[in-house]
């Protein structure tokens, strides 16, 4: 059992409140893209991939539009379930739908998804290629830089990152 700080507890309660409210709104209008996709994103953050897939299935049955974000979310679900070929198929569909209007957020998110799939499959060159395309398409996309930093940290290793160094000017005179 890990004790949480007050800030973490408040954040978690707020997240749960928004998730619950989103679920109620989806019941009112199952084709509302914003409601459904926000609910699916929240469920993915909670590692509830099957619930997220169910919500997208219901959205599709109700006649919801299969757009770039839909396919990117489907890709995220399959990637988290380690169904990499399915994830790749959905990310590629998102790229195809978005090829004329890039660099939209969904285009970059699909490229990042493909990069993460390639990473899981130990395809380093492919991973780096997708990441570079994402960074080139949208240089200010925060998730792209976070993914690049995570990959760099994994390569460097934790032992080399925060090694304290004492400056010679701060050394005791007896040293």
| 16 to 13, 22, 112: CA distances (angstroms) | 5, 10, 27
Estimate the crossing angle of helix 33-45 against helix 49-61, to 10 degrees.
Answer: 160
CA distances from 36 to 28, 73, 74, 76, 107 (A): 11, 11, 13, 15, 19
Q: Of residues 116 and 33, which shows the higher confidence score? A: 116
- How many Cβ atoms sit within 10 Å of the Cβ of residue 22? 21
Largest CA distance in the chain: 78
What number of other Cβ atoms are within 10 A of residue 137's Cβ? 15
Mean pLDDT is highest, among 87-91, 134-138, 142-146, for: 87-91
> What is the 8-class DSSP label of residue 170?
G
The 8-class DSSP code of residue 81 comes to T
Is 74's pLDDT higher than 80? yes
Measure the N-to-C terminal CA separation of the chain; round to a whole number of Å.
Answer: 45
Q: Rounded distance, CA 12 to CA 1, Å?
A: 16
pLDDT tens-place string over residues 101-142: 655 788 899 999 999 999 999 999 999 999 999 999 888 889
pLDDT tops 90 at residue 173: no
**Is there a contact between 32 and 26 (Cβ–Cβ < 8 Å)?**
yes
In this prediction, residue 98 carries a pLDDT of: 72
**DSSP code, position 125:** H
Model-level pTM greater than 0.75?
Answer: no
Q: When comparing pLDDT for 121 and 37, which is higher?
A: 121
* Mean predicted lDDT score pLDDT of the chain: 80
Share of residues in the chain with pLDDT > 70 (%) = 68
């Amino acid at each position: 059992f890990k004790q949480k700080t007050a800030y973490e507890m408040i954040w978690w309660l707020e997240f749960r409140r928004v998730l619950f409210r989103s679920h109620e709104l989806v019941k009112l209008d199952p084709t509302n893209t914003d409601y459904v996709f926000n609910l699916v994103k929240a469920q993915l953050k909670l590692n509830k991939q099957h619930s997220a897939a169910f919500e997208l299935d219901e959205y599709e049955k109700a006649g919801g539009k299969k757009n770039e974000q839909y396919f990117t979310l489907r890709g995220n679900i399959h990637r988290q379930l380690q169904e990499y070929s399915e994830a790749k198929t959905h990310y590629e569909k998102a790229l195809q739908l978005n090829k004329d209007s890039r660099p939209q957020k969904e285009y970059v998110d699909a490229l990042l998804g493909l990069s993460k799939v390639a990473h899981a499959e130990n395809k380093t060159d492919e991973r780096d290629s997708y990441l570079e395309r994402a960074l080139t398409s949208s240089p200010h996309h925060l998730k792209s830089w976070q993914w690049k930093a995570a990959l760099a940290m994994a390569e460097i290793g934790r032992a080399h990152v925060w090694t304290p160094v004492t400056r010679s000017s701060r050394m005791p005179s007896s040293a």
